[in-house]
Every structure is written in structure tokens, then in C-alpha cells.
A and B are shown apart, each in its own frame.
Chain A
């Protein structure tokens, strides 16, 4: 006897069928029906305090685990609240499935209560989306959504489900074969291009591996290490790729770009060959494209053909999965004997590293330098923590000063630059990897956007830790106003006393600690690391004048990299 299910039951069963262990969401009118079968389902539901939070939790979960993150919310305002998280995931190629409630099919277009054109609004913010019109479609639609989210260039997929579709009954059936005649992501690189790439690598004198988030997405860290060591070529890891190659490895130059270190940024500028893997020549990497790495040829490996030659012409384009193509490149290199001598190039780079290190001064009398907090945390954890950042100065310092050794231990909003990402994303990451220490490094501006998700963390027993670097300002914007607007600070100074973040944390059911002296930093961090039954927030009262350097002014050439505030001010061409 075929089993009759409601659309709501079919939806939850379809999620179970995909192996979903947790969903992040918030119920409401249109999605109400789907919340009833959740009571019987083995799927855990984490109740967010805001739909944007639910979306970033799904994203943090996906980053930390490599699995598809799932958010489920209602129609109208819930769907519009979710949009930011969708666009964020789209920009950073995060595998996510979002399920939104919708008003009944008979009401669509009538401006019904909590109606929004979710499908239309989310179209440019998702890899794909669909509006379900009958309960029978649900198993196939869910299968298709997970397939699209987790293959090819990963990304968010949205399913909009009207209320009556959830109420209707259907005959349960397992999803059929995926039928998407227009969707065939390439996996293997073209052998001729692989040969051409290895030819270029053999001929080049100053090659640089330019590695992006695509290598993390492809779980190709091992292949990357093997390849880099085989060809003995230095590597830069973009903001999205931090950790995919150990920072302690002598070939790793660290992060390039607008706030990248001198050696990584200038190595690309002076290079004669950029071996690009899963990166996309973002403006934060290249600066002014006309002056970017003008002497370099480009090998570009990407799973998305549209990224190749979008911003920078690729001499050797290779469309394929980073893991597979790296395997092909290794085989082709091993087949040949040529191992060009890179010693001179590597020696030059190591000289630069010694001459132009990342620097800051911690005066023992204070104020606390943000970089010092990050380095102390690294020392006390031995680096064994997952770091989740928001967007701004604290994010750049975390990327610069944390030594990353493993992939999926660094989670942040790169492409969209979504302030407020850290707290909900940390919640998602901790749910996905409960045995890891998950430490959000956040700013006071970011925290005030989504800090209420600390309530979710407390109530749902998700013991994240938060290092709140409070400089009482929207620090990155203030930095720009200081440098480019003659210090005319417009709307970038926040209150140094309100809110009292430690008290706020306590009110949310977390432990709140407040520190304003450098000599208290280590003990506060030790205290936080010892608490594992509740979330902990440490508010560090930090230097409000601290700035992120090095810095390439927006739209400027990477050759104009300024190493410090003094260096910046001494060069009139930059100000």
C-alpha cells in the first residue's frame, strides 16, 4: 500500500533522505505545517532569533563540515531577512539549501499577508531556485536542490513552498534520477591544457601559486601540498583559502591583496606566472587590474568557466574540479624530469619576509592591541581552534595574525563582506563540529548586528566562545575616513560604554568577561577556554586608533602598498 503523506511530511522526509542532521530556522504562518513533522524527525532544529542568523548558521555549518547547510524559514519578511545570507553564500560558493514558506498558490500575487516574491527576489542571489506547485514534486525538488548546492561550483539553492502544497497529500516516492540536461559541471581538466600549464611552469622563473577558496571547497588540500612541494613554487592563500595550506610551511607566503602582507602581495606583482587554482581575481586581490602582475602569464584552474578570463585573461584556462586537476598536474609534472631551480626566487621572497614582517607594538601599559589578543589566543590554544570572523578590521587582523594549519578552521564572509556574520556562523560551525573549540573573533560594530544569536547559543546549548575586540567604532570605515577624508569622522564612532557587552552576554545566558589591560588578556582567554558548558564572551577594550596595515588604497596599484600609517602618510600620492 503506497504511503500517503502531507507535503509537509514529504518535505521533512526528503531532508532525512538527504542525510540532513540539523536545520537552522524559525517557524511562521506559511511554513507552520512543515514544523509539525519536525517533532517526530531525528533532524535537530536550531531555533535562530532572526532569519538572517539562521542563514549564516547554515553557512557556518557548511564551511566547518563541507556538508550542505540547511535553513528553513517562513514567507515574506522571513524570506527577505534570509536574502542577505543567501547572497553571502552565493558570493563565497557555500553549499546551502534554503526552504521558505510561501502563501497558498491560490493567493500568490494577491498581496496576501506575509507574501513576498521570494522566488523572484532570490533569483540573482542563488545558484538556482524553484517554486513548488504540487506536493508530488517535493522529493525530486529537494533531491535536485541538494545536488545543485553540493556539486560544480557550490552555492545556495532555494525552494519556495506554498502553504497549500504543504497541506496537500501525496503518494510518497523516493526521488527519481536527476534530470537537468543543462547542468553538467566539468570535473577533469582538458589534457592538452594540463600539458600547456606544466610547460609554462617549467619555463617560468618567478612562478606563484595563487590559491583560493575553490581548493577548500574541493577538499584538495593534500593534492595542493603535494603539487606545491613537487614544483617547489611559493604560494599565496587568499582570504577564502586560509588554512588550505599550512601557514608554517616555508612555501606559504600568506594572504595577498588590499590588506595582504608585503611578500604575498608583491610576489604576485613581480611574478612571471600565476598558477591560479580556485581563485577569481577579486578586486581585493588585484587592486587596479591595469597594474596588477603586469609581467605574469596566467594559468587559471576553476570549476566555473565564467570565472576564467572574467577579470584577467588566462593564457592557459583549465575548467575542472581543483582536486582532479591538481592530480592531473601532479601526474604530468612527474612524467617529466625538468625541475627548474627556484632557489633564487625563493631566497628573494624570504628576504622580503624578513625585511617586511607584519608588525604591531603592544605597550604593556595599554591600550590592548587587537593583534595581541589574536596572538595570545593562538598561543594558548596552540592554534587548535576554529576561528570565525565578521567583517572589518578584526577580520583582517585575524586572517593576518592567526597561523592557520588546516582547512575549514577559518570561516568568514569574504565576497559579500557581511557585517554580523561571525556570531551566527560560529553557532553553525559549533553545531557541525561540536568537539572543536569554535572562537568567534568579532568587532563591536558587527556584534551589534547579530549578537542576539548568543541567545540561540545559550538556549540550544551550543558553547561558542567570542573574543569581542571593542574599539568603539566602525573601525575599517573609520580607518578610511582617517586616511582619505582628513580624519573627518562621520558616523563611525560608537559608544565606548553602551552596550556593556559583558552584561549583555550575561543577559543572553552566556558568561561575560571584560578586560581592559594587556596583562589580563591571557588569563581571560584561559578562563574562557575552561568553560565548556555555556557560551563565553570576552570583551576586550582595545585601541580605538589601531589600523590595519599593510594597505593598498582602493582602486590603487598593488605596487603602492603602504606598510604602516607612517609609510602611508609619507607618500602624498596615496593621500
Chain B
């Protein structure tokens, strides 16, 4: 089972090394890790997707790092989760139309078209990326680059009002 955690850390040199060293030292597996700035220039947000049953220890060990300010473990469905992917697909002129049609349905954007390949950009929840990748595998994927996941908690008020109106 994969878990998504958001780690708010002080934006200090080497903070990524501290977090990744801790994971390596404790034998925790990282599925993906992203880090970037937040609305506060003094803080960075890491989104870590981890495998395994040791969630309680992972959260506690993250908190133990002096530069960790807040750790949030998202319950399934409580966060907006996004990934971005660039995928290059074999596309002979004969199949190009068919592939572009399929891509349109999946909200994939053609960002580079070559003689025998098309490169798509797909942004969205992880399962949408997985679906598109599976679809394209029938044509042949030649290159793939994928970001780690980013996530933010859903706004509780919005979530409530949405469920009321629904």
C-alpha cells in the first residue's frame, strides 16, 4: 500500500539530503519524492510517496529531523494529487491520426511531433497517467519521464459544501 505524506521543512541548504539520508538509514522505501518552494519563502514542501507498513515510524522519524516543521499523512481521497509525465510514442504517419484521437480523449497534449514519434504531456492524478501509458504501450513507448507526485490537502469547507450540494 502506498502512502502520501506532505513534509513541510525549513528551506535550508541540505534539507533534502537530511530527509533522504534518514530514509536510507532507517531502511524505508521511497516510491517518489518531490520538493519545491511554498507560499512562504522560508519553507519548502516535500511530497513523499512511500511503500510499506511502517508509516508511524516514518512520520515520527521525519519529525525528529530538526528542520522538519510539519508532517501530514493523507488519508486516501483527502488530498489533491497530481503528477506530470512526458511520454514519447512510436507514431508512423499511418497511425498518427489514430494516436492523436486517443490522446485527445485522455486529455494528453502533443508537445513535440517528429517523423516517427509524438511526445505527449499528461498532467493529472496518478491513475490517469497510468491509463494513458497503458493505452500508448500498444503503439510502443520509446521514452518516458515522470515527475514525482505533488499533493495538497483538500479544503475541508469546500469538500463539505460540495457534498451538501451533491
Contact = CB atoms under 8 A, between A and B. Distances in A.
B73 to A, nearest CB: 15
Interface residues of B, number: 21
B22 interface: yes
A182 B63 CA distance: 8
A309 B61 CA distance: 13
A182 B21 contact: no
B68 A182 contact: yes
B65 A182 contact: yes
Given A123-B18, A123-B21, A124-B21, A181 B69 contact: yes
B14 A181 contact: no
Contacts of B65: 182
A124 B67 CA distance: 14
Contact of A182 (B14, B57, B60, B66): B66
A183 B70 CA distance: 10
B64 interface: yes
B13 A131 contact: yes
A305 B21 contact: no
B17 interface: yes
Contact of B63 (A131, A180, A305): A305
Contacts of B70: 182
Nearest to B68: A182
Nearest to A153: B64
Contacts of A148: 66
A192 interface: no
Nearest to A128: B66
Interface in B93-145: none
A181 B9 CA distance: 9
Given A119-B14, A123-B18, A124-B22, A183 B56 contact: no
B81 interface: no
A180 B60 contact: no
A290 interface: no
A530 interface: no
A120 B13 CA distance: 12
A305 B60 contact: yes
A310 interface: yes
A127 B63 CA distance: 12
A498 interface: no
Interface of B: 9-10, 13-14, 17-18, 21-22, 25, 56-57, 60-61, 63-70
Given A124-B21, A182-B69, A305-B60, 10 more contacts: A123-B18, A127-B66, A128-B66, A180-B66, A182-B9, A182-B10, A182-B65, A182-B67, A306-B57, A306-B60
The 8 A-B residue pairs with the shortest CB-CB distance, nearest first, are: A306-B60, A182-B69, A124-B25, A128-B66, A182-B68, A183-B66, A123-B21, A181-B69
